[in-house]
Amino acid sequence: MNRDALRQAILEELSDIAPDIDTAGVKDTEILREEYDLDSMDVMNLLIAIHKRLQVDIPERDYGRMQTLGELLDYIERQSQ
Amino acid sequence: MSDFRMPSMGADMESGKLVRWKIRPGDRVKRGQVVAAVETAKAVLDIEVFEDGTVRELLVEEGSEVPVGELLARIDGDEQTAGETAEAATAPRPRKAAPERAGPDDSHLPRKPAQPTRPGPGHESRPAASPAARRQARQRGLELSRLRGSGPNGAVLVRDLDQADDRTAAAPSQGFEPEAMRSAIATTMSRAKREIPHFYLSQQVDLNTAEQWLENWNHDRPPAERLLMAGLFIRATALALARFGELNGHYGPDGFRPSSDIHLGLAIHLRGGGLVAPAILHADRMSLGEITAAMQDLVQRARRGGLRGSEFNQGTATVTSLGERGVDRVIGVIQPPQVAMIGFGRPRPRPVAIDDALAVHATVDISLAADHRVCDGHVGARFLNDIDQRLQHPEGL
C-alpha cells in the first residue's frame, strides 16, 4: 500500500471514529490530539481500527512518537516493510 | 394491551420529536427492542419497548413533537411469550427483521436487521467510501450502505451521492444543535444547583501500582485487548457504589430511592460544545475488559448516534473523568435525579511521601459531589477511601 492509500485508509478510520471531524482538512504536520480534540478513547479506537485494517500493531510505549498524521504514516510504513 | 408512551430521557426533557418509527402495526416486538427514534435537545435516541407483544396501532406520526408521557402506540401483550421464548431458545429460527420504517409504500426498501444488543467498537460492515463522500453523505443525511459505489471495490465516491434521492435519505442527522444543547444543560444544571444541597470532598490517590499493573497488562496485548486507566476508575467506582447505597439512586418527590442496580453515567464531551452522560448499565457486573468495551461503545455512539433512551434515563450516579488533556481536579455538579457525581482529574506524576522519604508517583485527584439531603460527609469520605483502596489493588478489579 503506498503512502497515499495508507493516508486515505487512516483518514477513513478517523472519520468513522470521530464523524464530527472534517478529515479532508487534516494536514500531516498537525498534532492530532490537540488540533482535533481527540481523547484517549478516540486514540485507542483509532489504534484498534488501524490494527484491524492494516495489521499493524502499535505498542503502547510508541504512542508518544505519533503525534501527527505524518509520524503515524512514517511508523506504519516502517512496520509494514 | 398496554400503552407505549413518550419516555422522559432526562430532567430537562419536556417533549421529544418522534423522528422515526421502526415498527408498524402487526409487528411482533420483544422486550428491549428499539421501536422508535426520538430527538431531544441532546441527541437522537433509540427508544425501546419494555414488554413482548404485538403492535396494535401507532398513534403519532413521524415528525411530531410529543410531550413526555403522551401515548405513542398501543401494544397487545403476548400470552404466549413464555412458550415462544422457550421454543426460540431450543431451536432458533430466522425471524423477520423489523421494517426500517413505517409507511405506505416503502416495503421495497432494503431492510436492516434489528440492531445487535451489544454493538462492540468493531464495525466490519462499514461500507467502503472515500472520506469526502463519507463526509458529504453525513451532511446530506444519506446512508452509505444504501448507495452503489463506483470506486475501487465498490467504494462510494462523491459522484455516487447524486444517485441518491429521498428514498435513500436515512436516519435523521445524529448531530445536535449547540443552542438547544446549551439550553438543555442550563435547565438541568440550574435545577441541580437550585434544588440539591451539594457537599464536596476530594482526595489525592497514588496511582503508582495501578499504572505499573496497567503497563504490564497492555505490554504484549493487541490494541483491542488493552485497558485504559479510565476503565479502572469506572470499575473501582462501580464496586464502591455497590457498598455505599446512599450515593446510588434517584431523589424524587417522595425522597431518596436507592437503586440495587449500578447504572454508571459517563460524562462525554462532544466536539462542538456539548455534553452527554449516558449510562453503562449494570457496570458493577462487568469485568474490566467489558467495562472498557462498554466505554468505547458508548463514546462512539455518543459521537455517531445510536444512544438508547434507557441509557439516558436510568443512570444511578455519574462519573466525569478528564483524562490526560484535562486539569488536576474536577468538582462536578450532580445530575438530577441522581445524588452523586464522582470526578477524576488528570493523572500526573507528583511528589509523594512514602514513609519518611519522597518519591515521584503517578497520582490523580478524585472528588465527590453528593446530595446532603441523603447523606453526610462521613459516608462520602469512606466512599472515596474505598475507591482509593481498590485502585491500590488493580489485580482485584
Instruction: Output the pLDDT for position B79.
Output: 57
Question: Looking at chain B, which residue has its C-alpha nearest residue A44?
Answer: B223
Grid look-up 450532580 returns B334
Secondary structure of residue B103 in the 3-state scheme:
coil
User: Do β-strands B307-308 and B44-48 pair in parallel, antiparallel, or remain unpaired?
Assistant: parallel
For residue B21, the one-letter residue type is W
By Cβ distance, the residue of A39, A42, A48 closest to B223 is A48
DSSP structure class, residue B56: E
How far apart are the C-alpha atoms of B17 and B35, rounded to whole Å? 14
Question: What are residue B199's DSSP bridge partners?
Answer: B370
Torsion B47-B118-B295-B305 (CA) sign: negative
Distance from CA of A69 to the nearest CA of B (A): 15
More confident residue, A44 or B388: B388
Query: Digits of tens for pLDDT over chain B (397 positions)?
Result: 788 999 888 777 888 999 899 999 999 999 889 999 998 887 888 999 988 999 999 999 999 999 999 999 999 986 544 433 333 333 334 444 444 443 344 444 444 444 444 434 433 445 677 666 666 666 666 667 667 676 666 677 766 776 554 433 334 444 677 888 898 899 999 999 999 999 999 999 999 999 999 999 999 898 889 999 999 999 999 999 999 999 999 999 999 999 999 999 999 988 877 899 999 999 999 999 999 999 999 998 888 888 998 898 899 999 999 988 889 999 999 999 999 999 999 999 999 999 999 999 999 999 999 999 999 999 999 999 999 999 999 999 9
B270/A20 CB distance under 8 A = yes
The continuous run of DSSP H or E covering B385 comes out as helix B377-391
Grid look-up 467495562 returns B291
Domain boundaries, chain A: 3-80
Mean pLDDT over A35-63 rounds to 86
Residues of A within an 8 Å Cβ radius of B? 8, 11-12, 15-24, 33, 36-37, 39-42, 44-45, 47-48, 50-52, 57-60
Torsion B382-B386-B388-B392 (CA) sign: positive
CA of B247: how far to CAs of A74, B231, B256, B266, B322, in Å? 49, 20, 10, 16, 21
How far apart are the C-alpha atoms of B176 and B199, rounded to whole Å? 32
Instruction: Output the pLDDT for position B126.
Output: 58
More confident residue, A33 or B233: B233
Q: Which of the following CATH numbers is that of domain B2-90: 3.10.20.30, 3.40.50.300, 2.30.130.30, 2.40.50.100? A: 2.40.50.100
Rg of chain A in Å (alpha carbons): 11
CA B45 to chain centre: 10
Question: How many Cβ atoms from other residues are within 10 Å of residue B157's Cβ?
Answer: 16
By Cβ distance, the residue of B129, B135, B230 closest to A22 is B135
Which grid coordinates are listed for A62? 510508541
A44/B215 CB distance under 8 A = no
CATH annotation of B113-166: 4.10.320.10
For residue B206, the one-letter residue type is D
By Cβ distance, the residue of B122, B272, B323 closest to A20 is B272
Instruction: Output the pLDDT for position B347.
Output: 95
Substitution target from B233, B269, B296, B321 for chain A, most A beta carbons within 10 A: B296
A41/B230 CB distance under 8 A = yes
Question: Looking at chain B, which residue has its C-alpha nearest residue A18?
Answer: B303
Q: Which of the following CATH numbers is that of domain B178-396: 3.30.559.10, 3.90.1150.10, 3.40.190.10, 3.30.1490.20? A: 3.30.559.10
A41/B132 CB distance under 8 A = no
What residues in B contact A22, CB-CB < 8 Å?
135
Which grid coordinates are listed for A1? 500500500
> Which pTM does this prediction carry?
0.75
How far apart are the C-alpha atoms of A77 and A1, rounded to whole Å? 9
Residues of B within an 8 Å Cβ radius of A? 121-123, 126, 129-132, 134-135, 138, 175, 215, 218-219, 222-224, 226, 228, 230, 269-272, 295-296, 299-300, 303-304, 323-325
Distance from CA of B115 to the nearest CA of A (A): 18
B325/A18 CB distance under 8 A = no
CATH annotation of A3-80: 1.10.1200.10
Structure-derived torsion over alpha carbons of residues A46, A52, A55, A57, reported in degrees to the nearest 10: 50
Instruction: Output the pLDDT for position B203.
Output: 97
pLDDT exceeds 80 at position A23: yes
Instruction: Output the pLDDT for position A22.
Output: 83
Packing angle between helix B229-243 and helix B377-391, nearest 10 degrees? 140
Secondary structure of residue B67 in the 3-state scheme:
strand
CA of B172: how far to CAs of B37, B72, B77, B139, B336, in Å? 9, 19, 30, 10, 29
B132/A20 CB distance under 8 A = no
Question: How many Cβ atoms from other residues are within 10 Å of residue B38's Cβ?
Answer: 23
Instruction: Output the pLDDT for position B111.
Output: 41
Domain boundaries, chain B: 2-90, 113-166, 178-396
CA of A54: how far to CAs of A65, B18, B45, B240, B252, in Å? 19, 41, 33, 40, 51
ipTM at complex level: 0.84
Distance from CA of A43 to the nearest CA of B (A): 11
